[in-house]
Amino acid sequence: MYAVIRTGGKQYKVAPGDVIEIERVKDPSGTVSFTPLLVVDDEGRSTSGRSALQGASVDAKILHESRGPKTEVLKFRNKTGYRRHNGHRQTYTSVEISGIKLAPQKS
């Protein structure tokens, strides 16, 4: 079973037990839940669509935070003395996927 989640402007394909790095999540409880889901595949049965996946969620446990590589930005204009130097390091949160919960089926 796997699901496709969206967080931090990116999409991730996850399965129970996976460890992924997402953009920083400020959550002191130590767990996070991702909803709404984009796609869920349960042994060949694919489910997609907002109405079909309403109530489904992916639960994850927060492991730790880390920082990514430094990106350097340099702006330079020739013969004018214009120089600007800047840098950025993105903070990431490592999470372990605990489980995928599907919504109860309507019968």
Do the domain assignments include residue 80?
A: yes
Can you spell out the DSSP letters for 7-52?
A: ETTEEEEE-TT-EEEEE----TTSEEEE-S-SEEEETTEEEESTTT
Convert the pLDDT of each residue in 36-90 to its tens digit.
Answer: 888 888 888 888 888 788 888 999 999 999 999 999 999 999 999 999 999 999 9
Is 50 inside a domain boundary? yes
Residue 107: inside a domain, yes or no?
A: no
What was the pLDDT predicted at 106? 64
pTM, two decimals, is 0.80
Distance, in Å, from the CA atom of 60 to the CA atom of 89, rounded to the nearest integer, reads 24
The reply to whether 67 falls in a domain is: yes
Q: Domain limits at 42?
A: 2-101
